[in-house]
Amino acid sequence: MDIVPLRPDFGVEIRGVTLARIAADDALYNAVRAAFEEHSVLVFRGQDTDNDVQLAFTRRFGEPEIVPVGTSGMGGHFITLTNFGKDGKVVAPDHRYALRNKANQLWHTDSSFKTTPALASILSARVVPEHGGGTEFVSTRLAFESFPAALQQRLENSFAWHNYAHSKGKIAKDLASPAERDAFPPVCWRMVWRNPVNGRKALYLASHACGVEGMAEQAGLAFIDELTDLSTKQGTSYEHAWKPGDVVMWDNRATMHRGRPWPGTEPRLMVRTTVSASAADGLETMRPPKQQAAE
């Protein structure tokens, strides 16, 4: 197995192994897990990934998320990001699927709106468009480490509210369905996630963030926008240009990502699995003190 940097500061390509072998081999898994903790984004090329292999690989890292029926998944462990309609044809630009793809093009981290947020996401390319449609990543760990000490300290004592309907509402008012609103009421997290393996801290933020505890709504939103801009400065990202068979895995505690646009007439089909965060991943440190007391 070889580890090849994608950028000098974060992200690596893992060569010479398949997901199936990693899933079946403790030593390989341990090496990949260490790379995940250290480099935040892992790229695997030329994988022959079907849903079974992807899920077996996902399970090595923790509990796979279950996607509630009626949301963008179809129940079960897989989220399908696609612009294919039920008839197998590419959908119109105002179709729900197309609008959801647009919501994915806002900087975010996955599942921050859930009561158990995500440790990792694993995205595999099944059908890729000819032009565009990449996925772009930034390190919110490196962003946090670049902030002045006073801002770091403020963030370490700050909590943000995350709401699924908020990010979807930026694209279309009712893009989050009533069932989704019920499934995902707003949740509150510390704005800094400390990695318990290496002690490094990262800004924890997403397009789902709709307010900052103790701040007036507009001021909180302005602070969130400012932090998003600071974390996504030009020249700080890695953009993955997809080829069929690629799999990218990222650490939702230490990165943000966004999909990039592509011509709406070109088909794209990606399958995502997601690992829920656990106490060992530092989750307990993320809960606001009030919530900890209530539990």
Token pair of 25, please?
């081999």
The answer to the question of residue 272 lying near ligand OGA (CB under 6 A) is yes
Among 47, 49, 135, 255, binds ligand OGA (CB under 6 A): 135
Beta partners for residue 251, in sequence order: 120
The answer to the question of residue 251 lying near Mn ion (CB under 5 A) is no
Shortest reach from residue 133's CB to ligand OGA, in Å: 7
Binding-site partner at residue 141 among Mn ion, ligand OGA, none, CB < 5 to 8 Å by type: none
158 or 171, CB closer to Mn ion? Answer: 171
Residue at shortest CB range from ligand OGA: 259
102 or 212, CB closer to ligand OGA? Answer: 102
The answer to the question of residue 112 lying near ligand OGA (CB under 6 A) is no
Q: Which stretch binds Mn ion (CB under 5 A): 73-81, 108-116, 175-183, 284-292?
A: 108-116
Of 235, 234, 175, 182, the residue nearest 207 (C-alpha): 175
The type of residue at 12 is V
Shortest reach from residue 214's CB to Mn ion, in Å: 28
Token pair of 114, please?
């859930």
The span from the CA of 284 to the CA of 168, in Å, is: 27
Among 143, 212, 256, 270, binds ligand OGA (CB under 6 A): 270
Among 42, 83, 97, 110, binds ligand OGA (CB under 6 A): 110
The answer to the question of residue 138 lying near ligand OGA (CB under 6 A) is no
13 or 110, CB closer to Mn ion? Answer: 110
82 or 163, CB closer to ligand OGA? Answer: 82
Residues 76-95, mask of contacts with ligand OGA (x by CB under 6 A) = -----x--------------
Binding-site partner at residue 160 among Mn ion, ligand OGA, none, CB < 5 to 8 Å by type: none
The answer to the question of residue 65 lying near Mn ion (CB under 5 A) is no
| Phi and psi, residue 42, nearest 5° | -120, 130
Among 49, 121, 140, 167, binds ligand OGA (CB under 6 A): 121
Token pair of 169, please?
């509402």
Among 110, 246, 251, 281, binds Mn ion (CB under 5 A): 110
How far the first Cα of the chain sits from its last, in Å, is: 43
23 or 103, CB closer to Mn ion? Answer: 103
Upper half-sphere CA count for residue 214 (Cβ side, 13 Å): 7
| Contact residues for ligand OGA, defined by CB under 6 A | 81, 104, 110, 121, 123, 135, 257, 259, 270, 272
